[in-house]
Structure 1
Amino acid sequence: MEEAPLFFVGHHDPRRSLPVTAGHIQDAHAANYDMLTCPITTPYFHTRVLSKLSTHLPDSSSTSSIDLTRSTNASPVEIEALGPRDTPLTPDETTGQLIGVSSPWIDLSSPDPVIADVSRQVLKLELAYAAFCGLTYVLIPGPRMHNRADDGSGIVQYARAILDALALGPYMQLYIWMPLIDHSDNDKEDIGYLAPFSRQQFAGHSDGQSPRLDLFGTWEAWSTIRSICKYSSRLSIALDLPKLLPPVSIQSRWYSEPVRILTLDANIFLENQKGYPVLSRAHQALVSHFVRHKNPPWFLLSNVGPVPAVMNGGMDVKDSAAFPALGEAFSAVKEPTPHLWYMRNLQNKQPPPSLIERFGAGYQDYLQAPLQPLTVNLESITYEVFEKDPIKYDWYEQATARALSDWISQRKPASGTDGRIVVAVVGAGRGPLVTRALKAAETVGIDIDMWALEKNPNAFVLLQRHNDTIWNHRVNLVKSDMRTWRGPVHQENARRVSEMLGQTKSIPQGSSYTGSVDTDSTYLLATAARQPTYYKIDILISELLGSFADNELSPECLDGVQHLLNPTHGISIPTSYTAFISPIAAPKLYADINNSMVQTTPHAAETPYVVMLNAIDHLSTTTNSPQTNTSAPRTLSNSRSSSIPSPPTPLILPCWSFQHPNPHLPSSPPSTNAHNTRHTVLHFPVPHRGACHGLAGYFECVLYTVVLSTNPNTMADTSPDMMSWFPLYFPLKSAVWFPDDSECVVTLWRREDGRKVWYEWMVEAFVYVDEGGRTRGKRGKANASGKGRGRRIKVGGSEVHSSFEEGCLM
């Protein structure tokens, strides 16, 4: 049985006694905590900073002794280096069990330059010493935003301080501690906080009205911080959960971000009938979603009481305060850490990983270059991965059985010289489709003329073995490229070849030869003796689809073999397929490409990648429909209560389609590939602000009245748990910003030059402005048509990206 996700739970107490010793660590482990937090500096240091600051800022009036002519550019208040009384930390074995916490009382985003500068000095001193002690993880309180009228400049100042902080410890991970949403309840300015010291002349102007709750305000602040810090892999989020969760649209946005810690304060827990703390169903759903990430966040329980001091099986008698009062004795003995006990219980109740999650373990948000199947012979392990799919081959078998059944019921004439229906699998690989075609024929109750074509000489060896051991010589094997194959040949030609080669035994039905004039001397011998007798294929089966349907040259390959198909009744499986696209926020993929891959691969940002998308957010969404509740990358494996709102339904639009057989192709193989080029312009309404990092590509495919789909909106209904294809990700070199109620226009091309096929793409951002210059919340079809009152203004966009250098060779 698969194990449930593992929770790593830490304990945070702002009033923890210092220093944190090895004994405290042992107590925490005994209580079943995994880690503790520890402030980097002491209250003594806090007092020292306040004293220094008060000397220069005797009051909050404008008659401060600070020279305002230099206060924006200099450091009028200098904080001396740390001393032994300023910090409880010592570099020892306990540091590996601790998460450092920088001073919550500083204000890096203060509009007062003196306060901001003192805060930067404090943070620099703390992080430098934390790095010296070997602390790996440090929590830094996020910027103060509520009731700030500084046009966002404070966030920029904060981000600049964090950028400097990243240079202080090359191995230190910084977690920006922010609330999930910006709310007035987050203004916790205890005595001694620096924010109230800000001088009036720097406070800005307020209209006197209560600020409107901005659900995306915290996220936008984080987006600014990480952009200025160049998407550093050492910068992540510690997210403080509120008692009431915001709409799922903002929750979905945070799912795409590098959230490494979820903070659960005691006040967000409810009390069940037995008096124990529990999380609401909405909070449980949020937790369950986050733990499905490849790198799930840790949990930090805050203000849930002290860690019980347990030594030698009992309480530490050195701390009399640890003993409960008489009225509390029963509950204390019953469960001394009820919040932790609940989290461990919630951990045990998590459903095991789904089939797709088990299959994709390690592949979440991992960039893989698409295959080059026409120029590179695949390894056996690659075929094996594809063959593990529990859905695809079942669906192929069903489609083949339906095609055979319809052929018989409609009394279509077969192309085989002996009256049998001719079935050919082109690109047979290791043979799974051949096996399924034979099973389909057995299900229908007929005997078929079975052919299997494969150009990979290594896979062809295995096909020959399968013909001996599994298929009982019922398959005619052909080693050739499908585009040069002349088609099924009458068995008399195969016998004549054998005679010319000096073989006296006749070749059985399951013979192995090719029909390629370019690659097989055996065929040339047969041609020299007698013109081969070719016949047509009735049902042509292939599995040439890529993650974007046509990105592995399925149209080009099937064009090359279409002339072998029965011109009147021939069936291709698949019969058609459509590519789909949607703009997404994918900060992890963006960082991986722009911070790492471009250093070694110049065209990394213009290469489409196969990715099991997980930490993403679809920027364009529609109203939820009853049959569709979420996208594939964000689907939990267990069902949820109807009382829990589902994530927004992503808007995923079709780009183009291909049909097989192509009714517009001539009877002979085409001389050019121009008919397979495509171009589309798609319009996506963007209801909430966000950064577009790229495009997610999917496909839907009709085999033969049976549908395969990787489209998150239809996959659950058509081909659930299918694993053969991950989406295709089209990256952007630079993220494109979209305001609220804007429009994303995606332009996409499929191009060719006779030698290779590649894609080109670009993204543009537009807003609609009314006659008074105000932006309008005009979306959907009205935006796409551009009609109606108001002007359409472009506010951003990408360059045209081209994958020419990494195009798929024909």
Structure 2
Amino acid sequence: MQTPPLTLCTHDSEPYRRCRLCTTLQALSEKSMDFAVVPLDAAPDVYPGCRNYSDFAYFDDSPCVARSQYESSWEKLCVGRVQTPIQGPSDLKAVEAAAMYSLHIGMRTILIDPGVGHRLLKPLARLLNELMNRHKMSVWYVSPWDQWKSWNQLRFMCGHNPLLGVCPRLPLMSDTTSVGLNSMHGKTLPSICRYFGLPLPKGISAAGHDKLGDLWLSEPLRAVYAQQPFAKGHPHSALFPFLLRKVPLIVHKTCIDEFRGFAKSFELEKEEIFSIFRKTYPDANEDLVVTTAREYHDGTPLAPLRPLQENLENGVYEAFERDSVKYSAYQKAIAVALQEIRARKDFQKSGLNVAILGAGRGPLVTCMMEAAYKIGIKVDCVHIFEKNKWACRTLEKRFHHMSNEDCSRIHSPVIQHDFRKWKPDRTFDLAISELLGSFGCNEASPECLVDTLPEYLGKRGLSIPQRYTSYLAPVQAAKTHESLLQMSAKSKDPSVFERLHVVNLRDAHFLGKPVACFEFDHGKRQVEPHSDMHNEGCSKFCSLTFIATEEGVLHGFAGQFDCTLFGTEGISTVEGSRTAGLVSWFSTYLPLRNPMRIGKDDRVTVNLWRISKEGKLWYEWNIEEPHLTGISNSGGVHDFLDLS
């Protein structure tokens, strides 16, 4: 497992005079620095002694700018830094003058460090709004580690502008916060494990976990200000989660070489975590876990898959088939179901009939055959259903004739047809499907199975999965909200806040425990997990109340699911009980157009409708408390799934 490259920034307390900025950038490039931060406090309008921007340089870097560009476009490689303690109106004028000078020389990004305990938050918010809305400047706001409330107030006064980002300043480090698994007990380790979707190693408790660090990780970070990252040669343990996410770090220039030595301990720490993970979960695909965490950690909204409407591409099938944890769970569940069938008194030793509903490229067929082989049961016939004609070609080549020494020869016709509309000429002992979406029921698994399974299974046939329950949880997801704002502005379509999205929410901050909302049981008569529900077919309604466990900002809700495949075998994406190494599903995200400030122990009540009628499936939702909102996606106008 490779360590992500460290992204380093350097800073100094004094501007470098009488040096050309181009030469400075070249020197920084040799030290793997990517761009410079110019101290705008030394701008001519503020400090008359400085006459030209090339007379000073302030060092920093970013992972998003190519180093080879600095010769021709220095303005793209520079961030203007304002470090004027804001204590009075004159200080605000100095900040405004520095920002105007930044615009004059072509730098449209500024870093503002107002100092600790400044009292002019409202006037500063007004100034920042003007810079962002009128001049389209990007602002990086430096906030003390323990002043999240002030940052949150500023963010609300600036209307959650996507041009506003934050740079939290790490707290001063004591000798007891140095690295090492023992010293990270309950502090940093939970964040690292959560990033990779791993459980905490045995014997490690999260009782002392730094929840403020998780709160910052959910914010639109531009960098982390680590002005004092070392104590007696040991790096700050709080840096671990930020390094995993490749957040740029601003460190003092004298610490660069020592900080790079931290990469070795960082690598050892991760390797120790994964060595425990490998022993505990040998079925997990480690490379896939790491790749998924690295590529999708930023909370970017993705469009949900619509397999009923669109044929999946070959690459999508291939990505899902790499999830060894999911198919290992399926194979174990199939083995349990086959053993239950064999234990029946009237079991026909000549074999049994199995239906694979929605086979894709055939991973469930392989799971079924391997399970049957291991327990020594004969499968007489496997009916493979798949409506995607391109996937059917792969299935025909792989499974037209299947055989093994214990199961003799098995003829398995591949049926290119929508199994909902197929009229079976027999009943099956077992039907296997993998139609679950990120919210469990959002890809129309109930609509596909509720009316179909009785025809396929009769009275005694078994279904995998047996049941699945959807869960909902309130989350602070500032990065995702920022992405939706940018999507809305770019497409000029405000309806992005009335659609379901698929998001990797591992950097989100959960404000309450997940609560069950909808359940579908394909083995028994449906039993609802919540009493306040009214159902009509596959349509459902629930009203859920959460008690906020943390203070934060409510940006939306995370939709997840827990699934019982068969017996005691199952899979889960629910926060707090997620199956380790499972990467096939991210969370469904139900956004709010206007975020809400939530205090600890506040009540949050949400109403959620699942409506399935007239050949369509859609969801509607609204907040009842703390503030009443309108119903999103009313009538499925903005977002629905075509069931035809």
Q: Match for 2:221 among 247, 254, 259? A: 259
Is 2:611 the partner of 1:751?
yes
Equivalent residue number for residue 355 of structure 2 = 424
- Identify the range of structure 1 (429-438 vs 545-554) with the bigger mean alpha-carbon deviation: 429-438
Structure 1, residues 322-379: CA drift from partner, whole Å, max 9, x if none?
A: xxxxxxxxxxxxxx96544444545555637863230354333221222222222222
Equivalent residue number for residue 192 of structure 2 = none
Change in 2 beyond 3 A, CA 1:251/1:95: same
Change in 2 beyond 3 A, CA 1:44/1:428: closer
Change in 2 beyond 3 A, CA 1:346/1:16: farther
Q: Match for 2:126 among 160, 163, 166? A: 160
Q: Offset at 1:386?
A: 1.6
Q: Offset at 1:270?
A: 1.6
- Give the counterpart letter for 2:225 in structure 1: T
Equivalent residue number for residue 404 of structure 1 = 338
Aligned to 2:141, the other structure's residue is in SS state strand
Q: Offset at 1:411?
A: 2.8
Alignment check: 8 A CA contact 2:606 2:624 kept: yes
Is 2:451 the partner of 1:560?
yes
Larger Rg: 1
Alignment check: 8 A CA contact 2:470 2:561 kept: yes
Aligned to 2:151, the other structure's residue is in SS state helix
Q: Match for 1:485 among 422, 438, 457? A: 422
Equivalent residue number for residue 287 of structure 1 = 239
Q: Distance between the aligned counterparts of 1:797 and 1:144, measured in 2?
A: 36
Q: Distance between the aligned counterparts of 1:554 and 1:764, measured in 2?
A: 29
Q: Match for 2:582 among 717, 722, 727? A: 722
Q: Offset at 1:174?
A: 2.1
Alignment check: 8 A CA contact 1:128 1:168 kept: no
Equivalent residue number for residue 319 of structure 1 = none
Is 2:17 the partner of 1:18?
yes
Equivalent residue number for residue 605 of structure 1 = 497
Is 2:384 the partner of 1:452?
yes
Q: Offset at 1:30?
A: 5.2
Is 2:166 the partner of 1:223?
no
Alignment check: 8 A CA contact 1:760 1:801 kept: yes
Change in 2 beyond 3 A, CA 1:404/1:223: same
Is 2:411 the partner of 1:474?
yes
Q: Percent identity?
A: 25
Q: Match for 1:663 among 518, 525, 533? A: 525
5+ long unaligned stretches in structure 2: 58-69, 178-186, 188-208, 272-285, 404-408, 528-534
Equivalent residue number for residue 177 of structure 1 = 142
Q: Offset at 1:440?
A: 1.4
Alignment check: 8 A CA contact 1:369 1:610 kept: yes
Alignment check: 8 A CA contact 2:560 2:573 kept: yes
Q: Distance between the aligned counterparts of 2:256 and 2:367, measured in 1?
A: 57
Q: Distance between the aligned counterparts of 2:265 and 2:35, measured in 1?
A: 18
Equivalent residue number for residue 591 of structure 1 = 482
Q: Distance between the aligned counterparts of 2:621 and 2:37, measured in 1?
A: 47
Q: Offset at 1:95?
A: 5.6
**Structure-2-length-normalised TM-score:** 0.80
Alignment check: 8 A CA contact 2:167 2:222 kept: yes
Q: Distance between the aligned counterparts of 1:167 and 1:92, measured in 2?
A: 30
The RMSD of aligned alpha carbons is: 3.1
Q: Distance between the aligned counterparts of 1:129 and 1:447, measured in 2?
A: 80
Q: Offset at 1:119?
A: 3.1
Equivalent residue number for residue 138 of structure 1 = 110
- Give the counterpart letter for 1:679 in structure 2: F
Equivalent residue number for residue 618 of structure 1 = 510
Alignment check: 8 A CA contact 1:5 1:347 kept: no
Q: Distance between the aligned counterparts of 2:171 and 2:334, measured in 1?
A: 54
- Give the counterpart letter for 1:140 in structure 2: I
Change in 2 beyond 3 A, CA 1:169/1:12: farther
Equivalent residue number for residue 168 of structure 2 = 239
Alignment check: 8 A CA contact 1:540 1:571 kept: yes
Structure 1, residues 598-620: CA drift from partner, whole Å, max 9, x if none?
A: 64444211111111123311112
Q: Distance between the aligned counterparts of 1:167 and 1:743, measured in 2?
A: 34
Q: Match for 2:573 among 710, 713, 735? A: 710
Change in 2 beyond 3 A, CA 1:10/1:343: farther
**Structure-1-length-normalised TM-score:** 0.64
Q: Distance between the aligned counterparts of 1:250 and 1:571, measured in 2?
A: 47
Structure 1, residues 6-47: CA drift from partner, whole Å, max 9, x if none?
A: 112122111243255355445555566555543124398656
Q: Match for 2:295 among 362, 376, 383? A: 362
- Identify the range of structure 1 (248-257 vs 556-565) with the bigger mean alpha-carbon deviation: 556-565
Structure 1, residues 97-116: CA drift from partner, whole Å, max 9, x if none?
A: 554321424x2xx5xxxx42
Is 2:441 the partner of 1:550?
yes
- Identify the range of structure 1 (546-555 vs 353-362) with the bigger mean alpha-carbon deviation: 353-362
Alignment check: 8 A CA contact 1:4 1:349 kept: no
Aligned to 2:355, the other structure's residue is in SS state strand
Structure 1, residues 701-746: CA drift from partner, whole Å, max 9, x if none?
A: 011121111112112xxx3211111110011111122123311122
Change in 2 beyond 3 A, CA 1:177/1:138: same
Change in 2 beyond 3 A, CA 1:158/1:253: same
Aligned to 2:604, the other structure's residue is in SS state strand
Change in 2 beyond 3 A, CA 1:348/1:578: closer
Q: Distance between the aligned counterparts of 1:98 and 1:359, measured in 2?
A: 32
- Give the counterpart letter for 1:570 in structure 2: G
Is 2:370 the partner of 1:439?
yes
Q: Offset at 1:179?
A: 0.9
Change in 2 beyond 3 A, CA 1:270/1:556: same
Aligned to 1:258, the other structure's residue is in SS state coil
Structure 1, residues 611-652: CA drift from partner, whole Å, max 9, x if none?
A: 1123311112xxxxxxxxxxxxxxxxxxxxxxxxxxxxxx11
Q: Distance between the aligned counterparts of 1:18 and 1:686, measured in 2?
A: 52
Change in 2 beyond 3 A, CA 1:23/1:428: closer
Q: Offset at 1:260?
A: 1.8
Q: Distance between the aligned counterparts of 1:551 and 1:98, measured in 2?
A: 45
- Give the counterpart letter for 1:746 in structure 2: V
Alignment check: 8 A CA contact 2:36 2:78 kept: yes
Change in 2 beyond 3 A, CA 1:429/1:31: closer
Q: Match for 1:573 among 458, 464, 472? A: 464
Q: Offset at 1:653?
A: 1.2
Structure 1, residues 75-110: CA drift from partner, whole Å, max 9, x if none?
A: xxxxxxx972798459976666554321424x2xx5
Is 2:66 the partner of 1:100?
no
- Give the counterpart letter for 2:241 in structure 1: H
Q: Distance between the aligned counterparts of 2:13 and 2:618, measured in 1?
A: 56
Q: Distance between the aligned counterparts of 2:290 and 2:52, measured in 1?
A: 50
Is 2:14 the partner of 1:123?
no
- Identify the range of structure 1 (744-753 vs 239-248) with the bigger mean alpha-carbon deviation: 239-248
Alignment check: 8 A CA contact 1:45 1:87 kept: no
Change in 2 beyond 3 A, CA 1:482/1:30: closer
Q: Offset at 1:436?
A: 1.4
Change in 2 beyond 3 A, CA 1:437/1:144: same
Q: Distance between the aligned counterparts of 1:348 and 1:386, measured in 2?
A: 28
- Identify the range of structure 1 (403-412 vs 391-400) with the bigger mean alpha-carbon deviation: 403-412
Equivalent residue number for residue 538 of structure 1 = 429
Equivalent residue number for residue 808 of structure 1 = 641
Aligned to 2:470, the other structure's residue is in SS state strand
What is the count of residue pairs matched by the alignment?
A: 564
- Give the counterpart letter for 2:323 in structure 1: D
Change in 2 beyond 3 A, CA 1:354/1:178: farther
Q: Offset at 1:581?
A: 0.9
Q: Distance between the aligned counterparts of 2:79 and 2:486, measured in 1?
A: 26
Q: Distance between the aligned counterparts of 2:97 and 2:498, measured in 1?
A: 42
Is 2:51 the partner of 1:84?
yes
Aligned to 2:451, the other structure's residue is in SS state helix
Equivalent residue number for residue 206 of structure 2 = none
Change in 2 beyond 3 A, CA 1:349/1:19: farther
